[in-house]
Structure 1
């Protein structure tokens, strides 16, 4: 039992470290997006980030979800996700109409605003896992992969309800839910971990040097095969191939993640604040016109440094103290009302 508790604690530390490193890549990727059409190196970095950061973020979310999937804890998390979605969908949409004015945005509660797709999909992943609760792990993974491939054939805009990304990234949530940290550490011994880290860095170097022309919609996971220009009946094979690339890139990136406790571990506990708030900073930077001065290597490096520093800043305890009611709105009152209503029901 003591060994299991120790292993669980080590696993939590590892995944908190990973979660912080991933939120850094999320912030950095969104910050450099306006530069990728002008700088091949930034385009390569962007592709490297998108080859693993969303799959791994979903995997981490699935890993931590197993403690709060069912019962009262699961109900509370779903209610809180719903509140977060409504609050930030309203805030981002209001600011977009008045200030950001981003092209191609559907202002509807049924169309998540940019990064908020993750909240909508997270709620769906939890509900889908509850529906698959009696299935074996292999059956859940098989269904998730099949659904992820099949959703690309639907002739609907995947933005609505975040339906496309929900199913495209469902396999990673299921894998994270069943992830065995013990098996992982047995596999990722020092030499293997070092080789994986080197492979990730090499992959970045190759992408930065070659900047391959892969339609980014494949990496986003929010478009149909037809929208991606792959109208063939076998287009699903391309997504299967992309799954293989993403898994390889993710396994390589895991080699960069430290096992030990550090400040990064503590910052990893508050990545939700970075995730929900960083979009305001990125959008404000875009409308400020600052990107017109950042079209060179020095400017790009300064932008990346600023993204890292802002990530650390938003992960500070003070930010949580100030913005806790906004980012983690209380939902106890909703549960109390629900119980009262049930007691009054004959």
Structure 2
């Protein structure tokens, strides 16, 4: 029992450290997006980040879903995510209209605003995982890969209800959900970590030399094959190739994650705050015109440094104390209303 608890604790520590690294790459990726067309190296870095950061973020989300997928805790979390979505979908949409003046964005609760797709998909991943619980882990992952390929053939806008990303990233959620950290530790030995780190850095070089023409839409997972300009019946083969790229890149990036409890661990508990709030800072930076003054590598490195710094600031306990009612809203009032409506005792 003690050994099992120790493994679970080490697993929690490892994936909290990973969460902080991933939210940092999310912030950096979004911060350098306006620079990818005018500063050498930024496009390569951008594509490299997108080969692993969302797949791994979804995997980590699946890993932590083990402890609260079902029961009252799971239900309350689903309600909380739904309230988060309503709050931030409204906030971002209002600011877009009144302050940011961003054009060509679907403003609807059925079309998640930019990064908010993750909330809708998170709800769906949990519900799908519950729905297919009778299948073995291997069968679930195999089924999810098939669905991830097939969803691209739908003749609709993949943004609506985040249907495309939900199924494209579902395999990573299920891999995380069924991941045994004990087996992972035994497999990911020191020499394999060194090899994996080398693979990750090599991949960055390969992207810079040979893959700059890869449409980002394949890595976003938000577009159908038709939207990506692929009308052939075998377009799904490209999705499988992207899956292979993402799996290799994600596995390789794991080599950079500290395995011990450190300053990163507690910050990793508050990455949701960074995720939901950093989009506001990105929008403010965009309308401020600051990117007009960034045209050199040194300027780009400064942008990256600020993104890393702001990640650490948004993950501070004081930010959680201030933003807690909006980021992790209480849902007891919804449960009370439901019981009143159904005539159940409070």
In the other structure, the counterpart of 1:171 is 171
SS in 2 for 1:235: helix
**Aligned pairs (5 A) from 1:185-264:** 185-210=185-210, 212-264=212-264
The alpha carbon displacement at 1:199 in A equals 1.4
SS in 2 for 1:111: coil
The alpha carbon displacement at 1:91 in A equals 0.3
SS in 2 for 1:11: helix
The alpha carbon displacement at 1:201 in A equals 1.7
Whole-angstrom CA distance in 1 between matches of 2:17 and 2:212: 30
CA contact (8 A) 2:62 2:173 kept: yes
**Deviations along 1:38-67, whole A, 9 cap, x unmatched?**
123000000000000010000000000111
TM-score by length of 1: 0.98
The alpha carbon displacement at 1:210 in A equals 4.5
Q: RMSD over aligned Cα, in angstroms? A: 1.2
Whole-angstrom CA distance in 2 between matches of 1:318 and 1:302: 25
SS in 2 for 1:261: coil
**Aligned pairs (5 A) from 1:147-186:** 147-186=147-186
1:142 partnered with 2:156: no
In the other structure, the counterpart of 2:104 is 104
In the other structure, the counterpart of 1:12 is 12
The alpha carbon displacement at 1:138 in A equals 1.3
Whole-angstrom CA distance in 2 between matches of 1:6 and 1:251: 23
Task: Go from structure 1 to structure 2 and tell me whether the alpha carbon gap of 1:159 and 1:178 turns closer, same or farther (over 3 Å shift).
Answer: same
SS in 2 for 1:82: helix
Whole-angstrom CA distance in 1 between matches of 2:20 and 2:321: 19
The alpha carbon displacement at 1:202 in A equals 2.0
**Deviations along 1:185-209, whole A, 9 cap, x unmatched?**
1111111111111211222233234
Whole-angstrom CA distance in 2 between matches of 1:237 and 1:343: 53
CA contact (8 A) 1:40 1:211 kept: no
SS in 2 for 1:40: coil
Task: Go from structure 1 to structure 2 and tell me whether the alpha carbon gap of 1:152 and 1:211 turns closer, same or farther (over 3 Å shift).
Answer: closer
1:84 partnered with 2:84: yes
**Deviations along 1:158-205, whole A, 9 cap, x unmatched?**
011000000000000011100111111111111111111121122223
CA contact (8 A) 1:14 1:260 kept: yes
CA contact (8 A) 2:40 2:297 kept: no
In the other structure, the counterpart of 1:129 is 129
Whole-angstrom CA distance in 2 between matches of 1:69 and 1:104: 36
Whole-angstrom CA distance in 1 between matches of 2:209 and 2:267: 32
The alpha carbon displacement at 1:19 in A equals 0.4
The alpha carbon displacement at 1:341 in A equals 3.4
The alpha carbon displacement at 1:333 in A equals 1.6
SS in 2 for 1:197: helix
Listed as ranges, the gaps of 5+ residues in structure 1 are none
CA contact (8 A) 1:149 1:239 kept: yes
The alpha carbon displacement at 1:211 in A equals 5.1
The alpha carbon displacement at 1:104 in A equals 2.0
The alpha carbon displacement at 1:285 in A equals 0.1
Whole-angstrom CA distance in 1 between matches of 2:188 and 2:76: 35
Whole-angstrom CA distance in 2 between matches of 1:344 and 1:255: 51
Q: Which moved more, 1:22-31 or 1:134-143?
A: 134-143
Whole-angstrom CA distance in 2 between matches of 1:115 and 1:343: 38
TM-score by length of 2: 0.98
Whole-angstrom CA distance in 2 between matches of 1:210 and 1:41: 13
Task: Go from structure 1 to structure 2 and tell me whether the alpha carbon gap of 1:209 and 1:39 turns closer, same or farther (over 3 Å shift).
Answer: farther
In the other structure, the counterpart of 1:310 is 310
